[in-house]
Amino acid sequence: MTEPLFSEDEEFDRPRLAAHGPVRVRVPAKINLHLHVGPTRPDGYHELTTVYHAIGLYDEITARRGDTLTLTMEGEGTGELSLGEDNLVVRAVRALAAETGHDPHARLHLKKQIPIAAGLAGGSADAAAALVACDQLWGTGMSRDDLAVVAATLGSDIPFLVLGGTALGTGRGELVSPILTGGHTWHWVLAVAEEGLSTPVVYRAFDELGGRTNAGPPDGLMAALRQRDPEVLAGELANDLQAAALHLRPELQQVLDAGIEAGALAGLISGSGPTCVFLAEDGRHAALIAADLEERRCCRAVRTAVGPVPGARVL
């Protein structure tokens, strides 16, 4: 008879044992399938109704025990991103420590594939990953809902990155509820621009342009998700920040046009941009669109990704 890998007691102890070794957490990027921007609130944020969608383009954080808090990184944004107290990962670790009474001690290493300042919530994703990693490392035993509460204090879209999947976001984006789409997979192509855009700057441009909204309530989008027909979904994608992003970067219109010429069913700016997202019929179609866009050399990088995928998870 083969021995079980873990006796029952060891099985019971596994989370604690795992927490003493390195903890690896993978976290996805997000796109907004629908982004309705409402009025400015007294706290300066805009009231949002958005449909978040987590896609299979990932960052990874490894957390180890340490006597202080340190952060190192490799990949996208290395040398550009501050690794100091203003980094969202560091802020997330300190917020979790304050919430749980734990010392904010960990050695963190971030492997970044999600482009920075791209409208893909890469920084928010890393903060979500840091919360999940340190929760496991320290054995705080917080629920995902508890983590989402801490996440909301750090940034509007961080609770979604803890949850993942497809979800409705309201409030300033921090109130998330899952949208069940019956396990269907959608295929996307991303065109990443040369230079990033700052989210506050895009919201300011939105206000200066008169705060005009084109995206109504996301009812049609919800129905399209349930119908699982990419042609139908294509007609429902909407982003109120698109005009502002195009105002700041008119050349993005050529990228959007190029994606449609390459055969995409629809194209839109992701979140506050500048990444352009294209919907494909299936994986093969996505690969064809990506190859076409790459040949046109109209952007810094082209990626394909599927969605929805889970949020920040321990590997």
CB of 203 to ligand C5P, least distance (A): 4
Alpha carbon distance 308, 285 (integer Å): 18
Q: Is 155 in the site for ligand C5P (CB under 6 A)?
A: yes
Which is nearer to ligand C5P, 32 or 304 (by Cβ)?
32
Q: How far is CA 247 from the centre of its chain?
A: 24
Q: Is 303 in the site for ligand C5P (CB under 6 A)?
A: no
Q: Which of 203, 273, 285, 309 binds ligand C5P (CB under 6 A)?
A: 203
86 is catalytic: no
CB of 256 to ligand C5P, least distance (A): 22
Q: What is the 3-state secondary structure (H, E, C) of the chain?
A: CCCCCCCHHHHHHHHHHHHHCCEEEEEEEEEEEEEEEEEECCCCCEEEEEEEEEEEEEEEEEEECCCCEEEEEEECCCCCCCCCCCCHHHHHHHHHHHHHCCCCCEEEEEEECCCCCCCCCHHHHHHHHHHHHHHHHHCCCCCHHHHHHHHHHHCCCHHHHHHECEEEEECCCCEEEECCCCCCCEEEEEEECCCCCCHHHHHHHHHHCCCCCCCCCCHHHHHHHHHCCHHHHHCCCEECCHHHHHHHCCCHHHHHHHHHHCCCCEEEECCCCCCEEEEECCHHHHHHHHHHHHHHCCCCEEEEEEECCECCEEC
Which is nearer to ligand C5P, 62 or 272 (by Cβ)?
272
Q: Which of 28, 119, 122, 173 binds ligand C5P (CB under 6 A)?
A: 173
- Of 59, 126, 157, 240, which one is the catalytic site residue? 157
Distances (CA, A) of 169 to 74, 152, 306: 31, 12, 20
Q: Is 92 in the site for ligand C5P (CB under 6 A)?
A: no
Scanning 199-207, 224-232, 248-256, 300-308 for contacts with ligand C5P by CB under 6 A, the matching segment is 199-207
111 is catalytic: no
Which is nearer to ligand C5P, 186 or 203 (by Cβ)?
203
Q: Is 165 in the site for ligand C5P (CB under 6 A)?
A: no
Interface size with ligand C5P, residues (CB under 6 A): 11
Site string for ligand C5P, 46-85 (x = CB under 6 A): x-x-------------------------------------
Which is nearer to ligand C5P, 173 or 311 (by Cβ)?
173
CB of 39 to ligand C5P, least distance (A): 10
Which is nearer to ligand C5P, 15 or 216 (by Cβ)?
216
Q: Is 287 in the site for ligand C5P (CB under 6 A)?
A: no
Q: Which of 112, 172, 249, 285 binds ligand C5P (CB under 6 A)?
A: 172
Scanning 44-52, 189-197, 288-296, 299-307 for contacts with ligand C5P by CB under 6 A, the matching segment is 44-52
- Contact set for ligand C5P, span 4-43 (CB under 6 A): none
Whether 116 has a binding-site annotation, put simply, is: yes
Dihedral sign for Cα 32, 126, 195, 264, please.
negative
CB of 217 to ligand C5P, least distance (A): 17
Cβ of 63: how many Cβ atoms within 10 Å? 26
**Which residues have CB under 8 Å from 62's CB, separation 6+?**
22, 23, 24, 25, 108, 109, 111, 133
- Under the rule (CB under 6 A), what is the footprint of ligand C5P? 45-46, 48, 155-157, 172-173, 199-200, 203
Give catalytic residues, as residue numbers. 30, 157
Binding residues for ATP: 115-125
